[in-house]
A and B are shown apart, each in its own frame.
Chain A
Amino acid sequence: MSVHDPHAWDRAAPRGPRPVVYGIRRLLPSWRWLAEAMWWVEHSFGRARADARPEEDTRVRIFVIATAFTAVFCCLALGAAHAALMTPKGVVGSAANPNAVARADIVDRNGALMATNITHYGLYIDPREVWDPTLAAQQIKRALPRISTAKLRRILAGDRRLIALPGLTPQEKSAVHALALGGVTFEPEDRRVYPLDSSARHVLGVADSGGQGLTGAELAFNADIRAAGARGESFPLSIDLRVQGVLENELGAAASAVGAKGAVGVVVDASTGEVLGMSSWPTTDALNRVTSAHYEMGSVFKTFTIAASIDTGKADLNTMFDASQPYMIGNRRITDFHATNKILSLEEVYLHSSNIGTSRMAVELGPDVMRDYFGRFGLLDAAPIELHESARPRRPTNWEDSTRASMSFGYGIMITPLQMAAATVSLVNGGVYRPLSLRRGGSGAEGRQVVSPETSRSIRELMRANVLRGSGKSANAQGLRVGGKTGSANKLVNGRYDPRHGVGSFASVFPADGPDTTRRYVVFVLIDEPAQGSQLGGAVAAPTVGRVIDRIAGFLGVDRVADPVIAPAVAR
């Protein structure tokens, strides 16, 4: 036995105390077993020789090493087999989705393309590799006329590689590439492209070159669009491009014909709250008037006042209102635009658009009830929709009798066309206020009951009657049972309502007949400050609505049925 045997202390000492103290013994008890095991393995040969069993010791070592290697190789083989056989499908050969893009294509509800990413090219010029700068400048300018000559000359006169023009289309790149000039190179860059030009531009909005949405649906659905792009899928909106096209064309034609300052149009599915078309004219204006412009809407508000009166039980279709003389609230004298000077039923109040009748209703409702109902219809808050541009209304500061009377026929409160559309939807679909949505399939929100289904039915009857016998006759698309209410209002100019600056609107539903579950569509059109001809909603907005409905009914699957015989006129 060697004097260096560290295990000497394990055995009975032949002479005296243990002579050597090693570092291992100073280790913690938890490490002691490991150190001793290594010690045992390392010195097994010496121990075996000391015990006169060298063959047995060699076999043990070979066996231990072979076992260890076998175990390790078995683990490796199993791991390799698992990796080879159990790899998830689709991962082999490619780590990412080959169709993935930074932002998904935006498509309409039928899959028609509205926005996409196209690889454009940045044009880079390294003047050190250009042989003849003057000739190169001439050739590049000829192939790419939109490039700045001054910038081109400055780069060619420089001494380092610079970008001459970003965002070359593939055609432009081919034209420059075909020049075969030295020092001219291209670098790909992903760009957002809107192939519809100005069509639906307010709905779509824009995204920046960094792939982030800035306005419109690009901003509202930024995260969803990016997620869909990563999956290689497209992102569908609720917009129907056919409906959008008809709405834009008819609105543009109507607004141009009367020299209007602006115009808006909205088409909404009343069952789901999906926006099928949204147009703001002129399209060159960055302002989306549907979501962000405020208007005193005029008589279209009478629908809300009457709905509140019917729903509270204070009136029904046969309740009579005295419009035989102006209605006085304090010193204020309220008159009718189409004065009848007689006692009118509620239906006649609606059909003759009697300010006196609705003012009486508003006064009778009281401030709390009227505020409650206007709140239910969403007239006191921004229209709920994904678009960030949806603006808050301008609400009255008090709810006194005079203010309520004004609000009953659409003055004293300024709302956005989108609020108007959402409120109209809630009145015609059985009384359920549902957030509007640009997402295909709607927002999925349950909605809240704001008026009873019976009230909703009465409102539909009134709207239909108004198109058959009232001010909305010009909206009567044949066989499509259009119902609606006209609205006309003067705008406040320098503190006075100026009749030369007016707004004409028409809020409609089709088909207005059938049970509550019938699939209906709300169309709202507003013409802002028509310069020629009448400014009344029945003259400027209702015909546009009629033409729009006439053309989109086929796309929406609304069948035409024979129109009922129209009664000659309301009994006076």
Chain B
Amino acid sequence: MNAAVIIRSVNRLFAWKVRGIRWIEIIGVLMVAAMIFSVYLAKAAAARESAQIADLERQIGVSGQRVRLLKAEVARLEQPGRLEALSRGAGLGPVDMKRQTSEADLAQLQPIPEPKQVVIVAPTPAVVPAAAPAAPAGEGAR
């Protein structure tokens, strides 16, 4: 295929008309219209997403403010001075060093002594001898 054939084909394409209008121009206009429409769709979608993003950012901002407020409230409630006053009010205090141990030494701790068995004996009535000898003097002061 030489250059002359190509030029002839192009000429025929440009010469292809309907009611005096070149088809190539009609196709071009249609393509431009399609492109404009697609650009419109894309921009409309982008604007919608942009609005959503702006709305989300606004919500994040509002939530962020609320989070900051809550964090400040937590910091106020957890300040050491206040916690210590509350703890001391509840009868709590620093654990004595003698009552602290490491995790590894837990096994060496003395077990809590078991409570001694208390044998409850039924009271027996005291037998008072009829004629008890008199206690020696001074015994009551011992």
Q: Which A residues lie at the B interface, using CB under 8 A?
A: 93-94, 98-99, 105, 112-114, 116-119, 170, 193, 195-199, 241-242, 244-246, 248-249, 477-479, 550-551, 559-560
Contact = CB atoms under 8 A, between A and B. Distances in A.
Given A98-B61, A99-B64, A199-B80, 20 more contacts: A93-B50, A93-B57, A98-B60, A112-B75, A113-B75, A114-B75, A170-B69, A195-B72, A195-B79, A196-B75, A197-B81, A199-B79, A241-B80, A246-B80, A248-B80, A249-B84, A478-B97, A478-B98, A479-B97, A550-B94
B139 interface: no
A195 B73 contact: yes
A548 to B, nearest CB: 11
Nearest to B64: A99
B60 A550 contact: no
A281 B30 CA distance: 84
Contacts of B50: 93
**Residue from the set B60, B74, B78 with the largest chain A CB neighbour count within 10 Å:** B78
B81 A249 contact: yes
Interface of B is mostly: helix
Given A99-B64, A116-B72, A195-B75, A244 B80 contact: yes
Nearest to B73: A195
Nearest to B98: A478
22 contacts: A93-B50, A94-B57, A105-B68, A113-B74, A114-B75, A116-B72, A118-B65, A118-B68, A119-B65, A193-B72, A195-B75, A195-B76, A195-B79, A197-B81, A245-B79, A245-B84, A249-B80, A249-B81, A249-B84, A550-B94, A550-B97, A560-B97
A357 B65 CA distance: 63
A193 to B, nearest CB: 6
Contacts of A93: 50, 53-54, 57
B90 to A, nearest CB: 16
B71 interface: yes
A502 to B, nearest CB: 28
A98 B57 contact: yes
Contacts, number: 70
A118 B68 CA distance: 7
Contacts of A245: 79-81, 83-84
A101 to B, nearest CB: 9
A560 B98 CA distance: 11
Interface in B41-83: 50, 53-54, 57, 60-61, 64-65, 68-69, 71-76, 78-81, 83
Nearest to B54: A93
**Residue from the set B54, B73, B97 with the largest chain A CB neighbour count within 10 Å:** B97
B68 A196 contact: no
Given A94-B57, A98-B57, A195-B79, A551 B72 contact: no
Contacts of B74: 113
**Residue from the set A93, A242, A479, A551 with the largest chain B CB neighbour count within 10 Å:** A93
B71 A113 contact: yes
Nearest to B97: A478
A118 B69 contact: yes
A117 B72 CA distance: 9
A551 B94 contact: yes
Nearest to B94: A551
A98 B72 CA distance: 20
Interface in B82-111: 83-84, 94, 97-98, 100, 102
B81 A248 contact: yes
A551 B98 CA distance: 14
Nearest to A112: B75
B28 to A, nearest CB: 13
A94 B54 CA distance: 8
Nearest to B61: A98
A248 B79 CA distance: 11
B84 A197 contact: no
A113 B72 contact: yes
Contacts of B76: 195-197
Contacts of B94: 550-551
A94 B53 contact: yes
Contacts of B83: 245
Contact of A118 (B72, B81, B84): B72
Nearest to A244: B80
Contacts of B68: 105, 116-118
A252 B119 CA distance: 54
A249 B94 CA distance: 13
A77 to B, nearest CB: 12
B16 to A, nearest CB: 19
A241 B102 CA distance: 24
Contacts of A246: 80
Contacts of A117: 68
B80 A242 contact: yes
Contact of A199 (B53, B60, B81): B81
Nearest to A92: B53
B106 to A, nearest CB: 16
Interface in B9-46: none
Nearest to A101: B68
A543 B140 CA distance: 50
**Residue from the set B53, B74, B79 with the largest chain A CB neighbour count within 10 Å:** B79
A170 B69 CA distance: 9
Nearest to A113: B75
A265 to B, nearest CB: 14
B24 to A, nearest CB: 14
A36 to B, nearest CB: 33
A119 B100 CA distance: 45
A418 B57 CA distance: 46
Nearest to B57: A98
A557 B64 CA distance: 35
A304 to B, nearest CB: 32
Contact of B79 (A119, A197, A550): A197
A236 B50 CA distance: 35
A408 to B, nearest CB: 37
The 3 closest A-B CB pairs, nearest first, are A245-B80, A195-B75, A113-B75
